[in-house]
Structure 1
Amino acid sequence: MKTAILATLSLIASSALVKAFPTPFDQLRVFKHDEPEQRLIQYSEDSPAKWMTQDDIDALMRAGIKYMDITEHEELAPVSSLVSHSAVFPTAAHYQDEVAPFIGNLTTQNMHDNLQTFSDFHTRHYKTKWGAQSAEWLHGQISQLADTTDYITVRKFKHEWDQFSIIARFEGTDASLENQVVIVGAHQDSVNMWLPYFGRSPGADDDGSGTVTILEAFRSLVENGFHPERPVEFHWYSAEEAGLLGSQDVASDYQSKGREVIAMLQNDMTGYIGSNGEVIGVVTDHVDDNLTGFLKTMVDTYADINYVETKCGYACSDHASWRKAGYPSAFTIESEFGESNHYIHTSEDTLDKLSFDHMKEFAKVAVGFAVELSHQK
Structure 2
Amino acid sequence: MLKFLFVAPLIAILTVLVTGLRIKIQDSVDFVYDEFQLSNLPNEGKRLIQTSPSTSEWMTEEQVLGLIRKNIKFMDVTDYRSLGTRYKAFKKHGRFQFPLSTAFEDEVMPFIYKLSTEHMQKNLEKFTSFRNRYYRSKYGEESSQWLYEQVANIVKAANYSDPILSVKQFSHKWGQKSIIARFRGSDDSKSNEVVIIGAHQDSINMWMPSFGRAPGADDDGSGTVTILEAFRVLAEGQFKPSRPVEFHWYSAEEGGLLGSQAIASHYEEVEIDVIAMLQNDMTGFVGKKYPEAFGIVVDYVDSDLTSFIKKLIKSYAKIPARDTKCGYACSDHASWIKAGYPSAFAIEGAFEDSNPYIHTSNDIIDHLSFEHMLEFSKLSVSFAVELSHV
TM-score of the aligned structures, taking structure 2 as reference length: 0.86
Letter in 2 for 1:258: E
Rounded to whole Å, the distance in 2 between the matches of 1:84 and 1:339 is 40
Distance in 2, Cα, partners of 1:223 & 1:162: 31
| Matching of residue 180 in structure 1 with residue 193 in structure 2 | yes
Size of the alignment, in residue pairs?
341
Provide the rounded CA distance (Å) in 1 between the counterparts of 2:44 and 2:190: 41
Q: 1:88 aligns with which of 97, 120, 133?
A: 97
Structure 2 spans left out of the alignment, 5+ residues:
1-42
Change (3 A) 1:119 1:45: same
- The amino acid that maps onto 1:283 is V
Cross-structure match for 1:288:
302
**Pairwise mapping of residues 203-214 of structure 1 onto structure 2 (< 5 A)?**
203-214=216-227
Which residue of 2 is the match for residue 364 of structure 1? 378
- Whether contact under 8 Å (1:85, 1:262) holds in the other structure is no
**In structure 1, how many angstroms separate the alpha carbons of the residues matched to 2:95 and 2:363?**
36
Which 5+ residue runs of structure 1 have no aligned equivalent?
Answer: 1-34
Supply the distance in 2 between the matched residues of 1:82 and 1:61 (Cα, whole angstroms).
35
| Residue 194 (structure 1) shift | 1.1
Deviation string 1:241-280 (CA, Å, 9 cap, x unpaired) is 0000000000000000000001000000000000113110
Distance 1:137 1:36, change over 3 A: farther
- 1:83 touches 1:326 (CA, 8 Å); kept in 2? no
Per mean C-alpha deviation after superposition, the further-off stretch among 263-272 and 79-88 is: 79-88
- The higher radius of gyration belongs to 2
Letter matched to residue 257 of structure 1: V
The answer to whether residue 127 in structure 2 is matched with residue 113 in structure 1 is no
Residue 43 of structure 2 is aligned to residue 42 of structure 1:
no
Q: What is the aligned counterpart of 1:103 among 112, 116, 134? A: 112
Aligned to 2:282: 269
Q: 1:77 aligns with which of 80, 84, 89?
A: 84
Q: Are positions 1:348 and 2:348 aligned together? A: no
| Contact 1:83-1:260 within 8 A present in 2 as well | no
Equivalent residue number for residue 31 of structure 1: none
The alpha-carbon deviation at position 151 of structure 1 amounts to: 1.0
Tell me how far apart the structure 2 counterparts of residues 220 and 282 of structure 1 sit (CA, whole Å): 24
**1:123-134 correspondence runs (5 A):** 123-134=132-143
- Which deviates more, 72-81 or 128-137? 72-81
The separation in 1 between residues aligned to 2:226 and 2:94, in whole angstroms, is 28
Which residue of 191, 203, 228 maps to 1:215?
Answer: 228
Query: 1:291 Cα shift?
Result: 0.4
Structure 1 CA distance, aligned partners of 2:91 and 2:224? 28
State the alpha-carbon separation in 1 of the partners of residues 366 and 106 from structure 2. 35
Q: Secondary structure at the match of 2:276?
A: strand
Query: Whole-Å Cα distance in 2 between the matches of residues 348 and 82 of structure 1?
Result: 45
Between the aligned partners of 2:91 and 2:166, the Cα distance in structure 1 is 24
Q: What secondary structure, in the 3-state scheme, does the structure 2 residue paired with 1:37 have? A: coil
Describe the superposition over 1:145-172 as per-residue Cα deviations: whole angstroms up to 9, x where unpaired: 1112321110000000010000000001
CA–CA separation in structure 2 for the residues paired with 1:135 and 1:203: 13
Instruction: Tell me: CA distance 1:257–1:54, structure 2 relative to 1, closer, same or farther (3 Å).
Output: same
- Find the aligned partners of 2:352 and 2:92 in 1 and give their Cα distance: 32
AA matched with 1:209 = S
Q: Does 1:59 align with 2:79?
A: no
Please report how far the alpha carbon of residue 306 of structure 1 lies from its aligned counterpart in structure 2 after TM superposition: 0.4
* Alpha-carbon distance between aligned partners in 1 of 2:245 and 2:44, rounded to the nearest angstrom: 36
Structure-2 residue corresponding to 1:321: 335
Q: CA RMSD in A?
A: 1.2
For 2:269 and 2:70, the matched residues in 1 are separated by: 34
Confirm or deny: 8 A CA contact 1:273 1:335 kept in the other structure. Answer: yes
After TM superposition, give the deviation of residue 87 of structure 1 in Å.
Answer: 5.2
Deviations 1:85-139 (A, max 9, x none): 5451011000001000000000000000000000000000000110000000000
Matched, 1:299 2:307: no
Instruction: Answer whether contact 2:96 2:275 (CA < 8 A) is retained.
Output: no
Letter of the 1:179 partner, please give it. N
Pick closer, same or farther for the CA change 1:277–1:36 going to 2, 3 Å: farther
Q: Helix, strand or coil for the counterpart of 1:49?
A: strand
Instruction: Output the amino acid matched with 1:182.
Output: V
Aligned partners of 1:83 and 1:327 also within 8 Å? no
Q: CA deviation at 1:326?
A: 0.2
Aligned pairs for 1:229-268 within 5 A: 229-268=242-281
- Asked if structure 2 preserves the Cα contact closer than 8 Å seen for 1:270 and 1:359, the reply is yes
Q: Deviation string for 1:275-315 (max 9, x for gaps)?
A: 11311000000000000000111111111000100000000
Which letter does structure 2 place at the counterpart of 1:329? S
Structure 1 ranges of 4+ moved more than 3 A? 83-87
Aligned to 1:20: none
Q: Aligned equivalents of 2:107 and 2:332: distance in 1?
A: 29
Q: Does 1:151 align with 2:164?
A: yes
SS in 2 for 1:64: coil
Q: Distance in 2 between matches of 1:36 and 1:326?
A: 30
